[in-house]
């Protein structure tokens, strides 16, 4: 059973930066795709950024140029560096992972089998 534990997040003023981490355990092979999602009350969970084991990435248009997703395969840890934060980035952020590649479907939450516990990011204007 894969287990994801998130850390980071918090509150920041607009224009500030935050970093999220997601430590994974229980992998049975090294072919997992990892991603970040976010959700605000009343809305669907939105794919923010995803990354494959070889470093192939995908980003939502709303975060391109501001957020950077990365992973440390030796530590099985996923990161999200968030810069130039905006109030509309306020949400609960979740990491997710699944075995194998996902291609263009990386942003669809139904693609993922395992989820972190979530961490709140609040950006004030």
Judged by DSSP in three states, 52 sits in coil
pLDDT, tens digit (0-9, with 9 covering 90-100), for 57-85: 999 999 999 999 999 999 999 999 999 99
How many other β-carbons are positioned within 10 Å of the β-carbon of residue 121? 20
How many other β-carbons are positioned within 10 Å of the β-carbon of residue 104? 7
- pLDDT number for residue 28: 77
- pLDDT number for residue 20: 98
pLDDT, tens digit (0-9, with 9 covering 90-100), for 25-35: 998 777 899 99
- pLDDT number for residue 101: 81
- pLDDT number for residue 72: 94
- CB within 8 Å of 36: residues ≥ 6 apart: 20, 22, 47, 48, 49, 50, 69, 78, 80, 93, 94, 95, 96
């Amino acid at each position: 059973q894969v287990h994801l534990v998130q850390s980071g997040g918090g509150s920041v003023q607009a224009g500030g930066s935050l970093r999220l981490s997601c430590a994974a355990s229980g992998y049975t092979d090294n072919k997992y795709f990892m991603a970040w999602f976010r959700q605000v009350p009343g809305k669907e969970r939105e794919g923010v950024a995803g990354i494959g084991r070889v470093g192939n990435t995908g980003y939502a248009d709303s975060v391109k140029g501001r957020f950077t997703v990365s992973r440390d395969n030796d530590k099985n840890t996923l990161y999200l560096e968030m810069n130039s934060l905006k109030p509309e980035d306020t949400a609960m952020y979740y990491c997710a992972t699944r075995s194998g590649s996902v291609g263009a479907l990386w942003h669809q939450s139904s693609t993922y089998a395992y989820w972190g516990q979530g961490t709140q990011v609040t950006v004030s204007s």
